[in-house]
Amino acid sequence: MDLFYNICIGISLGIIGGFFAGTLRLAFKKNYNEQQVAAAGHMIKIVANIVKYLTFLFLILGFIWCVYFLILGAVMPEQSEYATNMSQLIVSVLTIISIIFAFFEFLRRAK
């Protein structure tokens, strides 16, 4: 667990450093031609579509398994704590996936 904690700290520091480096980069912004802008927009659209279908897949699978754990907890009361924990884990993962989807959808519609 200590290794995972250190990885999370490293990633957080990297993101903060990248944020400040990006701020400096915005100060010295480069102008792109129309072809480069169109190519980037096309790539974002492709990635957004892929992420959309993966998100729907994971939402459907998450729904199926949450229903399973709901029934498991109702039928076998001694397993209710396990079922609750697994359902919370599934919902947490689906929340992260949905946030990623929303980010790509925002990028796609911003253009």
Q: Give the per-residue pLDDT at 1.
A: 76
Greatest Cα pair distance, the chain, in angstroms, is: 64
**Residue 86 pLDDT exceeds 80:** yes
Structure tokens at 4: 């995972």
Once rounded to an integer, what is the mean pLDDT over residues 12-20? 92
From the number of C-beta atoms within 10 Å of its C-beta (0-12, 13-18, 19+), residue 52 rates as middle
28-84 confidence digits (pLDDT tens): 877 888 888 888 888 888 888 888 888 889 899 999 999 999 999 999 999 999 999
pLDDT of residue 111: 61
User: At which residue do the structure tokens 């990248």 appear?
Assistant: 18
